[in-house]
Structure 1
Amino acid sequence: MSDVISVARTLDRCGVLGPGIRAVLWVQGCPLRCGGCVAAETLPFEGGTAHGVRELAEWITGVGGIDGLTLSGGEPFSQAAALVRLVDLVREGRPGFSVMAYSGFRLEALRRGDDDQRALLERLDLLVDGPYVAARHASLLWRGSANQRIVALSGRHPELADATDSSAGIEITAEPDGSMSWAGVPPAAGFREHFEERLAARGFSLRHGDDDTAA
């Protein structure tokens, strides 16, 4: 089982990518190429930063005041073995920790996946599945297009049955070094392009990565 994860970005606290306040881990690398992907810089398997699974588990369990972990990317199921290890280590210290993942693959395909992919699926409470389809973009809870689903894989979040299916919005964070980051699923198509154009027009130098303007 792999003890290293290729990471595109991390965020200590986020209130727009799953229920409650969550740590978010974006992995690097995705075999899919969905048109209009909001995190295109995470698609190549080259790049990212290698982090040890135990190091990441210590980061997550050390963040106070959070309810769970959301895995995004990139494609988390492309690094399923290491993420299984990560979830297990996190839950050793926080047994009731909620874990959610995004995947460009449908649940049915993941259930036919390899042993590691099925093992990761078994550890999730929530899955947002399916590829992003720009032509079906909509203002939906935690997802970008109408073909995508929020799938409850455990009984940990019964409140979702009564949740309003509308966008949770985005969060923009100004970092101490003057950089800016944002997280969430834009309710309107083309948000990222317009947002970055406006920043550029105001003299911001845009880069994409762990410490720069990123989705």
Structure 2
Amino acid sequence: MTTHLSVARTLDHCAVLGPGTRAVIWVQGCPLRCHGCVAAETLPFEGGTARPVAELADWLCGLSGVEGVTLSGGEPFSQAGALAALLDAVRERRPDFGAMAYSGFRYEALRRGDPDRRELLRRLDLLVDGPYVAARHGSLRWRGSDNQRLIVLGDRYAHVAAEPDTSAGIELSVAADGSLSWAGVPPTPGFREGLEEQLAARGFVLHTQARRNG
């Protein structure tokens, strides 16, 4: 069993990457190269921080005011075994903890994937699938382009299928050291470049880790 995850970034509270308020884990490494990816720094498998699954489980279980975790990246299904183990470890202590993931692979391909991918899929409540396609960018709920699907995999979030399919927006965060970062799926193409230019003009440097479109 894989005991570590290669992690690009974590966020303890986020309201724009899934239902309610959630923790987010961005993994490091993705085999896909979607044109227009807004988090290209998460694509190389080199880099990131090796984090023990047990440590991440303790972190998630210790968070108050969150109903679940969203797995992003990078490509979560490239580290499916460790993420399945993480969800199991969390649910031993918090059985009602929700799980959502993004993947550049289609749901049908994941269902035919190796055992680790199938096990992670089995533990999810929601999946956003498919690669980001810049030409099909849309202002959609939790998705970057209209080829991507929001797939309900259990009863926990069955209600989201009936809710408005409009952008959840973007969140900006200021860390204790004064650094800025953001999370969310941009409602417009070119969002990241435009934001960085505007902030740079005012003397701010934006931390580059964010949710990728696809």
**TM-score computed with the length of structure 1 as normaliser:** 0.96
Q: Which structure's relative contact order is higher, taking Cα pairs within 8 Å and 6+ residues apart? A: 2
Amino acid paired to 1:12? D
Matched pairs, number: 211
- Residues 30 and 43 in structure 2, CA contact (< 8 A), matched pair in contact too: yes
Alignment partner of 1:103 is 2:94? no
Q: Deviations over 1:64-101 (max 9, x none)?
A: 01010000000000000100100000101110111000
- CA drift at 1:199: 1.1
> What is the match of residue 2 of structure 1?
2
**Kept in 1: contact 2:179–2:207 (CA 8 A):** no
Match of 2:86 in 1: 86
Between the aligned partners of 2:9 and 2:157, the Cα distance in structure 1 is: 26
Tell me the TM-score normalized by structure 2.
0.96
* Residue pairs, 1:175-190, within 5 angstroms: 175-190=175-190
Residue by residue over 1:39-62, the C-alpha shift from the partner in whole angstroms, topping out at 9 and shown as x without a partner, is 111000000000000000000110
Report the equivalent of 2:34: 34
Following the alignment from structure 2 to structure 1, what is the Cα–Cα distance between the partners of residues 35 and 198?
22
Alignment of 1:62-211 (within 5 A): 62-208=62-208
Query: How far apart are the structure 1 equivalents of 2:59 and 2:207?
Result: 25
**Identity across matched positions, percent:** 69
- Which digits, 9 at most, give the CA deviation of each residue in 1:99-153, with x for residues without a partner? 0000000000001110000000000000000000000000000000000000011
For 1:171 and 1:208, how far apart are their aligned partners in 2?
Answer: 14
Aligned to 2:53: 53
After TM superposition, give the deviation of residue 161 of structure 1 in Å: 2.6
Amino acid at match of 2:166: S
Structure 1 residue 208: Cα displacement: 3.1
Q: 1-side partners of 2:180 and 2:161: how far apart?
A: 34
Q: Which amino acid in the other structure matches residue 208 of structure 1?
A: T
CA offset at residue 206 of structure 1? 4.5
Could you tell me how far 1:204 is from its partner in structure 2?
Answer: 2.1
Q: CA RMSD in A?
A: 1.0
**Partner Cα separation in structure 1 for residue 81 and residue 67 of structure 2:** 23
Give SS of 1:171's match: strand
Give distance in 1, aligned partners of 2:102 and 2:36.
16
CA distance in 2, matches of 1:206, 1:150: 29
What is the DSSP-based 3-state SS (H/G/I as helix, E as strand, rest coil) of the residue aligned with 1:11?
strand
**Structure 1 runs of 4+ with >6 Å offset:** none
What is the alpha-carbon distance in structure 2 between the residues aligned to residue 206 and residue 94 of structure 1?
34
| Runs of at least 5 residues in structure 1 that lack an aligned partner in the other structure | none
Instruction: After superposition, give the CA deviation of every residue in 1:174-200 in whole Å (9 maximum; x if it has no partner).
Output: 112110010000101110000001111
Question: Would the alpha carbon gap of residues 170 and 205 (structure 1) be closer, same or farther in structure 2, given more than 3 Å must change?
Answer: closer
Amino acid at match of 1:49: T
Partner Cα separation in structure 2 for residue 192 and residue 205 of structure 1: 12
Contact conserved, 2:179 with 2:206, CA < 8 A, in 1?
Answer: no
